[in-house]
Amino acid sequence: MNDRVVSVLIADGRVHARSAMRLLLAQEPDVVVVGEAADMDAAISTMAACRPDVVLLDWELARQRTGRNGDAALNDVRVASPESFVIALSSVPEVRRQALAAGADAFVSKGDPPEKLLATVGDCRRVSEF
């Protein structure tokens, strides 16, 4: 059994989405939400300050930073917190390929069951143990 607690930052422009993810993650005894951000500037500064194990990054929020795609925003994430496992989230499942190609470690559609997000956060723990 692993006693390691996973720290998570939630970056999503919608307060309801952040609240739902926070409530979901609060049910997991080995996961702690260390911060929330409603825009990329706040996300980047919070990442740099707390270096979370996992970043839940709304892909549309990342795209808003540049007005094009999320590549530049993901690069900023990697500079701010290079060790973080980045899970891109979107209500548009078709952007999965784009997010992964840009460097996200995983992708979860916002239409997926909540268990998928929890499993993906759990996967990051297994990856970080090596």
In a domain, 123, yes or no: no
Confidence (pTM) = 0.90
Number of structural domains in the chain? 1
Q: What is the pLDDT along the chain (130 residues), one digit of tens a residue?
A: 456 899 999 999 999 999 999 999 999 999 999 999 999 999 999 999 999 999 999 998 877 765 556 677 888 888 999 999 999 999 998 899 999 998 999 999 999 999 999 999 988 765 555 4
Question: Whole-angstrom Cα distance, residue 42 to residue 47?
Answer: 8
In a domain, 122, yes or no: no
pLDDT at 71: 72
In a domain, 52, yes or no: yes
Strands 31-37 and 106-109: unpaired
pLDDT at 130: 41
CB 8 within 8 A of CB 31: yes
pLDDT at 4: 83
pLDDT at 3: 66
| Structural domain for 67, as ranges | 6-113
Cα within 13 Å of Cα(95), Cβ side: 23
In a domain, 59, yes or no: yes
Nearest Cα to Cα of residue 100 among 110, 111, 86: 86
In a domain, 129, yes or no: no
Q: Domain containing 68 — which CATH number?
A: 3.40.50.2300
In a domain, 127, yes or no: no
